[in-house]
Amino acid sequence: MKNCFQKMQKDYESERIFMINLEKFKGVFPAFPACYDEKGNISPERSKMLARYCLEKGAKGVYLTGSSGEFVYQTVEERKQVIRAVTEEVGGKMTIIAHVGACATDDAVELASYAAQCGVDAISSVPPFYFAQPEYGVMEYWNAMIDAAKLPFILYNIPGTTGVSISFDIFKKMLENPYVIGIKNTSLPVMDIMRFKACGEDNCVVFNGPDEQFVAGRLMGADSGIGSTYLVMLDLYLKADEYIRQGDFVNAAEIQKVMTTTTLKIIQKHGHLLSGLKYLLHLQGMEIGSVRRPLVPVNDQDKKELNEIAEEIREATMRWCGKIPGKV
């Protein structure tokens, strides 16, 4: 695959032709959480363990060092550790997308170049945040990463955390760059999925972001999904995806009810959503540490309620998939 990509890149540079197999980006992509050791440091071993779990369960791929990966609380070197660990473990066996966005363009470019060296399948980035940027400034930021990596690129729209909404016009303009293949959209109006898809139609991939609307987003045109809660309910998301592909939207919607209800219960805890998810993974046999401050860890009351949620996930997974969630 690497030789094939190099050949296609050469064709692009000489003839302005560039072809990418979009099928490898269609499916269920867990948003990879930060895996820490007992001292709160990045754990390559735990990252590899979790990557193997995703592969063995049948996920299409993983999305690294994004929001769920706590990228805003990590150094460039720490993010490199995650990218290196996961590509060493499952590179070439599943699709790996590395989010390389950072506050400083130089850091993002360094990460993009490193991710390409490690052999990821694509890179992705939020728009520049904190300071407002003109449209041309946003495009320059993304294009700098693309130039450094020469890999398929996926925009990441998550206005609820960045405070920046990617417009349909800027997405259309970015699609003129042959390396740009799609967008991960985590805005809440499900109609946005349809409008982003219309920008590129079959020549782009749209990833549904909000877990609560995985099925609805797919019906509105999303090709794939990337989400934080996928890991704790991976069998259910894979089953819902299967039903969608079969055209069985009734059963897909029934599973979505379970996933949405569970997600909302986790969000309503004292601890941050990510800390709740990590505790659920602990209950499913996967130790990846807690969250970094200022994210709030779960408290004792949270744990009691999350134990009940874990049982609900277990019962739903047994009902719909005939499996026990987590590592067995």
pLDDT, one tens digit per residue, over 173-213 is 999 999 999 999 999 899 999 999 999 999 999 999 999 99
Among residues 63, 114, 156, 179, the one annotated as catalytic is 156
Residue 177 CA to residue 199 CA, distance in Å, equals 13
- Count of Cβ atoms closer than 10 Å to residue 106 Cβ: 10
Is residue 156 part of the annotated active site? The answer reads: yes
Q: Is residue 328 scored above 70 in pLDDT?
A: no
Token match 């969250």: residue?
291
Q: What is the DSSP letter of 188?
A: S
Bridging pattern class, strands 95-99 and 122-125: parallel
pLDDT digits (tens, 9 = 90+) for 109-156: 999 999 999 999 999 999 999 999 999 999 999 999 999 999 999 999
* Residues β-bridged to residue 95: 61
Token match 């897909």: residue?
252
pLDDT value for 268: 94
Q: What is the pTM of this model?
A: 0.94
pLDDT value for 19: 81
Residues with Cβ within 8 Å of 20's Cβ and at least 6 positions away in sequence, in order, are: 8, 152, 181
Could you tell me which of 309, 312, 293 has the C-alpha nearest to residue 301?
Answer: 309
**Domain edges within the chain:** 26-246
Residues with Cβ within 8 Å of 168's Cβ and at least 6 positions away in sequence, in order, are: 195, 196, 199
**pLDDT above 90 coverage of the chain, percent:** 93
Query: Which CATH architecture describes the domain 26-246?
Result: Alpha-Beta Barrel (3.20)
Residue 40 CA to residue 292 CA, distance in Å, equals 8
* Confidence band, pLDDT 50/70/90 cuts, at residue 4: very low
Across the range 157-167, mean pLDDT stands at 96
Structure tokens at 175: 């699609």
Among residues 57, 80, 150, 184, the one annotated as catalytic is 184
Is residue 184 part of the annotated active site? The answer reads: yes
pLDDT digits (tens, 9 = 90+) for 32-61: 999 999 999 999 999 999 999 999 999 999
End-to-end, the C-alpha distance of the chain in Å comes to 33
